[in-house]
Structure formats: C-alpha cells, structure tokens
Copies of this chain bind each other. A is one copy, B any other.
C-alpha cells in the first residue's frame, strides 16, 4: 500500500482530464477548499493549479464565487477549429523532426487498438488512443512554439469533441481507424507534410460532424 504522492503537475493533469472528459461539465463550480481536501494539501498549491488551468482557458476564477469550468459559444469554437486547421497545415512546413521507425511502430500499435475499438467501443479506450495519437504527432513538430499552440488548442477543444464521440460511437471509431491508417502510411513514407495535411482533414471532418450534431446553422468560416 503506497501513499499516492500528489505533485502540482499530476493534479493539473488530473483536473485537466476531468474537464476534458466532462466529469466537470461546462458551468461546474470548483471550490478550492474541496479540492484541497480531496488531494490532502492546502489551498495554496491548488490555487496555482487553477491559475494554470485558467491560462489554458479551461476555467475562469471569479472572486467570491468559485472557479467555473468554461463553456464555448459558437464563435469561440469556430475560432479554435479555424486555427487548428491552419496549425495543422504548418506541421510539415516548419522543419519537423526526422521520422523514426519508432514512430512508425507506435502508429501501427495505435491502429491495431483502434480497429478493435470499432466492434468493442469503450470511451476510455477511445481517449487513450486519441491522446496517444496527439502526443505522437505533437512530438513530430520541430518548432517549439507551434508545438505549444497545437497542444493547447487540442486540450481546449477536446471536451466538445468528446461529447460528440460519446454520441456517435461507431462513426467516430471508424474515423479514427481511417485517420490512423493514413498517418501510418505517411510515417512509413517519412512524409511529415502528409501527416500535417491528414490532421487538417480529419480536424475538418470532425468539426463538420460536430456542427451537424449540435447546431446546423453554425457558420463554416
């Protein structure tokens, strides 16, 4: 029986994942005292974590009220996806790092897992694969600034996509198989630019799916 050691970094990731996985849906009010009690520490380090989450636009801290999980209106969601499309196009342009056999192997493993997912869907497994794919591709990005932006926008839009993934299991899983198939092929060809454009396309497909499901009148551009 080991006592779990909570570092501020691990608490940050825990809360971020709870927000992304809709354990804390938009509008949820988080209280510093409650979180402090849960993790067995004082409010001080909790506040530091909440400030980091606020910088990532996942929560808003309101004096005298609490820390509120942010929601996105149509315009903001549109802005985020618009930028993600453009950032994807830059992945292959801004001197990506060399692709290795390891990358190829990682993608192949993920593809196998995704294929199993089509018949036996599990939200948890879906997100593990999705996150792993994101990490793999982010690691290819050579420009450190682009990598930061890419990463932040992923987590900023993740929960709205998760909502859709929970609704349309089959189609989403099939899309993931298609995406990972293409990514695997691109990695085999050592073609980072192809990886970027594949990302761009599937982000666009995902956004279209999101708009169709939630609000048909959402402006495209």
Contacts and interface: CB of A to CB of B under 8 A. Distances in A.
Interface string A169-205: 0000000000000000000000000000000000000
Pick the most buried of A55, A143, A153, A221: most chain B CB atoms within 10 A of its CB.
Answer: A143
A87 to B, nearest CB: 9
Interface stretch (A18-26, A32-40, A76-84, A160-168): A76-84
- Copy total for this chain: 2
Interface in A16-70: 48, 51-52, 55
B153 A79 contact: no
A30 to B, nearest CB: 17
13 contacts: A48-B51, A52-B55, A55-B55, A79-B94, A79-B146, A82-B94, A82-B143, A82-B145, A83-B143, A83-B149, A86-B90, A86-B93, A149-B149
A197 to B, nearest CB: 16
Interface string A129-164: 000000000000001111001000100000000000
Contact of A95 (B80, B90, B221): B221
Contacts of A145: 79-80, 82-83, 153
A161 to B, nearest CB: 16
Given A86-B90, A95-B221, A221-B95, A143 B55 contact: no
Q: Do most interface residues of chain A lie in helix, strand or loop, or is the interface mixed? A: helix
Nearest to A84: B145
Nearest to A145: B83
A134 to B, nearest CB: 17
Contacts of A149: 83, 149
Interface in A71-105: 76, 79-80, 82-83, 86, 90, 93-95
A86 B94 contact: yes
Contacts of A93: 86
Contact of A143 (B52, B79, B95, B146): B79
